[in-house]
Amino acid sequence: MAKVTFNTERCKGCGLCIPVCPKQIISLDTSAFNAKGYHVAGVKEMDKCIGCASCARMCPDVVITVEK
């Protein structure tokens, strides 16, 4: 099973990772903010992640790590 982690303090909530996920399991957490005041992205259903790393490749700030 793949594991995706987000460095939430570096995430600026740009949302570029959301449309590239083939499983559509990434979303912005609108109920929380990081220290800079951004809503951060995260995985809703980790068990559905296939570990393709499309999200990590798309992230301009290198905040996403995918481990298989």
Over residues 15-61, the pLDDT tens digits come to 999 999 999 999 999 998 999 999 999 999 999 999 999 999 999 99
Q: Does domain 3-67 have CATH number 3.30.70.20?
A: yes
- What is the pLDDT, as a whole number, of residue 68? 87
User: What residues does each domain of the chain span?
Assistant: 3-67
Whether residue 66 contacts residue 17, with contact meaning beta carbons closer than 8 Å, is answered with no
CB atoms near residue 40 (< 10 Å): 20
